[in-house]
A and B are shown apart, each in its own frame.
Chain A
Amino acid sequence: MENYPVLVPLIILIPSIGAFINLFWGARLSEKWVGSIGTIASGLAFLVAVLLFVYLSGSNYQSVVIDPPLLDGWIRLPSGGVEIPWQMRVDTLSVTMMLVVTGVGSLIHVYSMGYMHGDPQFHRFFAYLNMFLAFMLVLVTGNNLLMLFVGWEGVGLCSFLLIGFWYGKAKGVGWKNSNAARKAFIVNRIGDFGVLMAMFLTFWTFGTLDFYKPGEIANPGLASHAEVEGGQAEVAAAEAGDAEHAAASGEPVFTDNEHIVTSQLGIFSQAKRLIDEQRTVSFGSLTLPIGTVLTLITLFMLLGATGKSAQIPLFVWLPDAMAGPTPVSALIHAATMVTAGVYLMVRSNVFFHYAEFTSLVVTLIGASTAIVAGFIAIGQWDIKKVLAYSTVSQLGFMVAAVGVGAYGAAMFHLVTHAFFKALLFLGSGSVIHGMEHGHHHAAHAHNHGDEHHAEEEEFDPQDMRNMGGLRHRMPVTYWTYLIGTLALAGIFPFAGFWSKDEILADSWLAGIVDGNVSGYIAFGVLLLAAGFTAFYMWRQVSLVFLGQPRTEAARHAPESVPSMTIPLVVLAVLSVAAGFFNVPTGALGLENVFGAHRFTFWLEQSVEYAHAGTFQWVIALGALVVALGAMYLADGIYRRRGLDEQQRDPLYVGGGTRPLWRLSNARLYWDETYSRLFEQPFNRTAKFLGDTVDWAFLHDYVHDTVIYKGFNAIGDLLARPIDLGLIDGAVNGLGRLTQAISAGLRRVQSGYVRVYALSLLLGVVLVIIVLLLPLLGRG
């Protein structure tokens, strides 16, 4: 068991091999083979993650750093003191992410075998899915910021490929899909800019990008590490020795920061030390106190997180990303990739802990995203768009939790959300699938022998107005969807109840205990957002599953195949059970059954500031009342009253709420505003720079008027004496050669050409003179 960690490179290698096989040979294999290869690769990766979990549980949570074989280093510049290895980290935080990514990933692979059945690009889909897993695992296992960044952009690429999976669809749909893909990539790049800047600053502050050096303890304060404290001391001693050694041998010091190059500690331990010693750091000519540096680094990291984790101001790509196939939305745009930003911040919890200003900004961004996206979700008709905005909103909860210092709660919500949001997305996929089949069936029955006509008819299988009453037609989908909804809405005892409650309680405590104003803000805003969550989810359930079918398609929608429903059932079980991973003390004595704060305790081994929250009866009950109330409200509006004959929303029909509903339906005009503020000016500037500045002015005017005319004048001046006098005869031969070869010259206006030919000649003469210098010298 002690040797299990050496398996960790396999967790990346296996999905890579799967992707490789499917990409290059998948076209020649049957769907069954392609699907099996992809799923088995993902399943094996999950197995590795489980083994690593077993290892950690059995070895007192001792984290390990592994150098993958074959890859001998990465960016190594001895002259610049740069040493960034390919190095993988097995600790409780990374293993948590590995379990979620590969576990949910495997279920989604199984589901995709059913969902993507019959797609001509079936093999490409599975290749991309495996590739995504590989990159996501690079992201979570990397032991330095740069490796995290490789995964970070790699998953972005896979997201691009999968959003644009149907890039070739007819009637402009393919174009729209590829636009969405491009938008996702570019918006994420803005975030990546932040991560890059954070890395540069980190390097010049600490001289390394490693989270922790091998043998270093992430959380030295924990009792469970008492017996390995010796190791820490050794590292410190080694470092002291090394510094002496460096000083003695007179190795060059590359910056004013003495600790660079010689330090044997990772960035987080160094940060704590520099804070203690109140040091200043120099970047070139700029010198800043360490606190300011950490604030800058974390602000740049936050920019990255707002991109990847779809927060204000960069969340706009995620709703568009729903253009991809639904399993992709479940895996990448709900459960795993979009949580990378939260992961980055939790991983860097030491930095954020010391950067108070950043934490305030993080809280505000998270809370406002939660409420804004929750509000928008209420007015959407597209079943996937509701879930997309809901994801943005839930990510806001996690980010806000990071802001108030509740790193444990953020991760807990990340895990439970992965289960129930994946469940909901897959459920919606099952519904969409059913609607498509129902539509086909209905169209076929009505337009016998005229299928062509039926296909031309506009029908949106994702529009909830076309649904209704699906609970009878799709019972498994309905029941699992219901569980997912209750979990997301935060109803006791489903998973979302526990994780959301912990975030709310922690924000409240941050306000009360630490006197942190942002804690109160977060608490109030998030509570309201939780109400929104319950409301839009129950609206969705009512419109999709309850009531009567509103179209023929809904009347004929069949239940999905077992390969799709089995993952739903598994995820539904997890959506119930996951909450008990982290039962707080004082909750109905449940902690005696499941153990108290198990998840937080597990996480604390590698996340220093993940502290366990306490259970607050008032908050838990209050949140429950808010959620139930919102659901009751939605039930009255959408189930009992329902849409009117024109299929309009009751909130729209109902007068007073019309402006608000419109605002929500139009997504607060967010995209339009961005388009007007950024996109259009950017494009206009590009056009201006390209056509006017560069072409009309620099290329044509400057060249023709300034350079050409000027040259012409000089040329005329020189032409006569030199041409007639000095080298007339000698160069005639050369001139003829030039003329012969550049016969095409004559087509251009002749005056222009004459000068050019002359100058060319001058150049050749110059070269020849230089060549002849030796002869002159000897003579």
Chain B
Amino acid sequence: MENTGLSLVTVVLFLPMIGFLILLFLREQTQLQTIKYVTLGTSLITFVASLLLWAALDINNPALQMVQRIDWLPQYGISFYVGVDGLSLLLVVLSTFITVIATLASFRTHALEERGRQKLYYLFMLLLEWAMIGVFVVQDMIIFFIFWEITLVPMYFMIGIWGSERRVYAAVKFFLYTMAGSLLMLLAILYVGTAAGTFALPEITAMIQNGTLSFPFDGLFSPQSFLFLGFFIAFAVKVPMWPLHSWLPDAHVQAPTAGSIILAGVLLKMGTYGMLRFCLPMFPEASVAWAPVVGVLAVIGIIYGAWVSYAQTDMKKLVAYSSVSHMGFIVLGIFALNAQGISGSILQMVNHGVSTGGLFLIVGMLYERRHTKEMAAFGGIWTALPVLGGLALLISLSSMGLPGLNGFVGEFTILMGTLGSQSLGFVFALFATTGVILAAVYMLYFYQRVFMGELDKEENRQIEKLHWSEYAALVPLVVAIILIGIQPFIFFQPMDASVGQLVTQMQPFVTSVVQLVP
């Protein structure tokens, strides 16, 4: 299994760093265009490479593939250990895809020209891409933790330097919340790694499977539960789950457009991915036992996020709270602990990245033109910008889960999984499904206030048409939205074997623990 040759995964992981190195040698004053295109080119090449990864994946094999492992610190059981499987592949592709979109979105961002230091900005962009891919492909818990922390740094500066008025406050808050959560995770990682004698996750899961390693479990408050919570809380902050979401609206409102797109598109998924990758396989009993609690929080998040979203007047805040609602669906699906729920969740991570990324993109375009995010400043934009109006409608519909578009497939499978789940069940599905109604309420209100009604404001009448780079950023999103909506099995296919294996591993615990915990 261990492979010393260069794995495609390693290539994909380090491609952004090549662009990063090239950028270092360019001068901002004279070669700004080159800097932009090198970044775009690097992100495009990385995206294509990640598609090759998809093509190379054996979809019938549930195990980790294209593995590369280099011993780094053998006496501590730490190694550079990368690989992909069905759980992570789509997220790698999502990261590289969203980076392309975010780069395109940066080309027209006013704040960049205003505040300067554009080279630094694009350096951060590629650094961020590297770190995001790292989080999804690394299999060693220590290195995972390092990548997890590294993602914070570029995002911190992106918000802090190129954000809106209260950018520093938001950047620090973003950093602190995630940091605070991850400290618990670090403790848990150290504990597990010491107990197992290795930090390599596949080895640890294998030990748990064959019984050579187990963390004592006898209820909601037992050692395994504490380890579970150590990981879970770090991930829940990142997701963010209700009631730990209070950093999200600040970060989103203050971040530049590209920052919001990456934050919503990829960084939040690191949380849900972590639950799937770490919590479930390492702490199966605790996952089952805590599932109803997590489920309740997720359902509250779904309803609360949607309801609060409806009360907003700021477009970015509205979309930010809608993320709380959507991420609630994803967490719910994971803790349904069956194939429907988990597959739906993985797909929904992609869907949310695409749809919410698209919404932030559109809000950003409007902001660049009118320098306000207040919905009241708009109205009738559909008349002024018919193409943008049409695309915005499509993306809004995808976000509220219109069948035939991507969001629906994810929500549908998640909710179906929830209803048939032994850990959750009918009541959870009943309440969570009301989120579908609420999504229409806030999304249509947003759409109506901005795009419908009379075009009565002079500034809006003379609003600038779309630039090519803006089309170039929107169109791939729309293609993805329709493709996933009509042919989702293309996206379910690569994850199916891995999900099946995970569910089969969980099944005995589901049966035994559900009886144990009243």
Contact = CB atoms under 8 A, between A and B. Distances in A.
Is B truly associated with A?
A: yes
Interface of A: 71-82, 146, 149-150, 152-154, 157, 160, 164, 167-172, 174-175, 178-179, 181-182, 185-186, 189-190, 192-193, 196-197, 199-201, 203-204, 252, 254-255, 283-286, 685-687, 689-691, 693-694, 698-699, 702-703, 711, 741-742, 744-745, 747-748, 753, 756, 759-760, 763-764, 766-767, 770-771, 773-774, 777
A690 B412 CA distance: 28
Interface string B488-500: 1100110011011
Given A196-B415, A773-B76, A285 B168 contact: no
A43 B382 CA distance: 31
Which of B382, B415, B433: most chain A CB closer than 10 A? B433
A71 B485 CA distance: 12
B434 interface: yes
Q: Which 4 A-B pairs have the closest CB atoms?
A: A690-B311, A79-B500, A80-B339, A284-B425
B472 interface: no
B454 to A, nearest CB: 5
B497 A79 contact: yes
B331 interface: no
A777 B504 contact: no
Contact of B160 (A149, A694, A744): A744
B40 to A, nearest CB: 25
A45 B430 CA distance: 39
Interface string B135-169: 00000001001100110110011001100000111
A689 B76 contact: no
B172 interface: yes
B144 to A, nearest CB: 11
B17 interface: no
B445 interface: yes
Given A168-B452, A170-B456, A777-B76, 17 more contacts: A73-B487, A75-B413, A77-B492, A80-B499, A146-B412, A153-B403, A157-B397, A164-B452, A168-B383, A168-B455, A178-B452, A193-B433, A193-B437, A690-B312, A693-B308, A694-B308, A773-B73
A314 to B, nearest CB: 12
B176 interface: yes
Which of A79, A687, A694: most chain B CB closer than 10 A? A79
14 contacts: A76-B492, A79-B339, A152-B403, A153-B404, A169-B454, A185-B440, A190-B437, A254-B338, A286-B426, A694-B308, A703-B246, A760-B172, A774-B78, A777-B73
A181 B308 CA distance: 23
Given A74-B487, A186-B440, A200-B420, A759 B176 contact: yes
Nearest to B160: A742
Contact of B307 (A157, A689, A774): A689
Interface string B412-456: 110111011111111001100110110011001100100011111
B310 A686 contact: yes
Nearest to B146: A770
A455 B429 CA distance: 54
Contact of A698 (B167, B243, B453): B243
Contacts of B430: 197
Interface string B306-338: 011011100000000100000000000000001
A192 B243 CA distance: 29
A168 B380 contact: yes
Contact of A73 (B146, B321, B436, B489): B489
B487 A71 contact: yes
A747 B340 CA distance: 50
B436 A78 contact: no
B346 to A, nearest CB: 11
Nearest to A168: B383
A200 B157 contact: no
Contact of B246 (A150, A171, A702, A770): A702
Contacts of A199: 412, 416
Nearest to A173: B454
Nearest to B404: A150
B402 interface: yes
A146 B186 CA distance: 44
Contact of B161 (A190, A741, A763): A741
B50 interface: no
Given A154-B404, A182-B444, A698-B246, A168 B308 contact: no
A252 B504 contact: yes
Contacts of B340: 77, 80, 82
Given A78-B500, A186-B444, A748-B168, A168 B419 contact: no
Given A254-B339, A689-B304, A284 B402 contact: no
Nearest to B435: A193
Contacts of A74: 486-489
A286 B420 CA distance: 9
Given A79-B499, A703-B173, A767-B150, A200 B425 contact: no
Interface in B154-202: 156-157, 160-161, 167-169, 172-173, 175-176, 179, 186
Contacts of A686: 307-308, 310-311
